[in-house]
Structure 1
Amino acid sequence: MAGTSQTAPEDRGGDMSQDDRPDPATEAFLAHRNLLFTVAYEMLGSAADAEDVLQETWLRWVGVDLDTVREQRAYLVRITTRQALIRLRTLGRRKESYVGPWLPEPLLTAPDVAEDVELADSVSMAMLLVLETLTPTERAVFVLREVFGLAYDEIAEAVDKSPAAVRQIAHRARAHVAARRPRGVVSPAETRDALEAFQRAVETGDLQRLLDILAPDVVLLGDGGGVVQAALEPIVGAGSVAHVLGRIAAAASLQPAQVNGYPALIVRLDGEIDTVVAVRIDDGLITGLYAVRNPEKLSHMERETALRR
């Protein structure tokens, strides 16, 4: 691996040849970088860990003889998947000692993510939490097959299983996800309408309006990670959730934003991001509220993250 660097190309501008063009390995990596990040993020639910996976992917990629690579995209996805699986198992052990509910790391996303309905659905907070209930291999197979449309034989190489085994895993994962995902397809417009009504109710302190938009069995999950204050257990029921939300209205300002492909709210205190609130909607009502407060998870809310399929 002569001439390789310990730093991924986006951080150092790439390995430049004499004519100021990236070398072939760097060029291929940069061409697929956003795709690889999306694969890793969907498998991990953590942007920080996804970035680490990309670093590991780069270090392995620059040691590959490109003349032996038939399809660069598939090869890079395979490396990324393997590294993400390793990281996913480590992350699972870390979550066991996490203080309070664990939520995915929110991403400020560009409008084009919302335009790709399948991509937006796959990175939504609600879907990422559903994916958390899969085994690492099931999650990898589901993401690669259902989101990125990889062939079973390509997935088999990435997860070290036979194509027949991958088909069975994919079938099992699809059934598992179908039983737990939101009951109907919710458009960004529906989410935006619900959030606007929710925002008005919180800002005006209109309890009845708030209760009208919350499902009776709504669940509020707060992720403070033991770093900032957040409920250590889920808060269940419209009345209890409305009571908690009513307390934030006086001191905070609410700002609409595009988060993980869907409309969400940024809660600011003294101009600083304090909380990111995403929602799950079923049958026109908010059934899930996901409030990420852990400051270690808010670093990707200052600039848009590019996601690609």
Structure 2
Amino acid sequence: MGHAAVRDPKAAFEVTKDWNGIDQIVLRNAQGASARVSLHGGQVTSWRNDRGEELLFTSNKAIFKPPKAMRGGIPICFPQFGGSGSIEQHGFARNKLWVIDENPPRMHTNVSHGKWFVDLLLKPSEDDLKFWPHSFEFRLRVSLSSDGNLSLISRVRNINGKPYSFSFGYHTYLSISDISEVRIEGLETLDYLDNLCQRERFTEQGDALTFESEVDRVYLNCPSCVAVLDHEKKRTFVIRKEGLPDIVVWNPWEKKSKAMADLGDGEYKHMLCVDAAAIEKPITLRPGEEWTGRVEFTVVASSFCCDDLDSQI
């Protein structure tokens, strides 16, 4: 079960039940920051700073009932992000019941130092293999640092007899003051696929990405660090990633959000999805191979600017 390399009597690791009686893990550091992870989907459903402010968006109309994934938090999109066919959109991992991994393999990183974490495990069911006939072990570590940073590490191992490919995304719903007050830095000059234009390829022309209408884009070959600046809340989300070349940016805007049963009218103003992902070039694993994809979220004062990005990675 998850534990910390540095134990602090004020910090906590707790297993509780959610609204459906499914186990969820609450990680809390000594300063009072917290993260909540549900075994339904391995989904982070809450991340709060040391003042108790919620940093992830969850819709007031979210449906909290398996097998549907909850709209909000950080759903895990595997083995596909978007798409169609025999697998549902965004894959099945976000709808499955994960288990706490009691005996995880050793992490080849110092990630546990000063962090409270939980290790989760997903293996395919017989039904999963009917739709996606590839055996895998998916290990997920969710960590909360002493500084209140949230990190997720996914490790997918091919235990199949043949190679296979998949796409992936951390579908992250950030809580923001107002979509018109937010900009993203770090995506300038990059190519992107526009899902509102049949995935046509464009090049970002702006110095920063701002929002005046619906956006659904896959930015390609992104830097390892991007920043989401919220002018009104005077805070910046810094997103660092590894093993995930793409960034998905999504906001449904007014018209599309009204057609979504699990998103309230006007809620689009207070959410922005910025997803570390691997989409354009699917990940291919040969038998026995393992892929790792990491993302870390930090919140800093809004004085942080894009010029600092490279120095902070």
TM-score relative to the length of structure 1: 0.28
User: Hey, which of these two has a bigger chunk of strand by percent?
Assistant: 2
User: Hey, which of these two has a bigger chunk of helix by percent?
Assistant: 1
- Which has the greater radius of gyration? 1
| Structure with larger RCO (C-alpha < 8 A, sep 6+) | 1
TM-score relative to the length of structure 2: 0.28
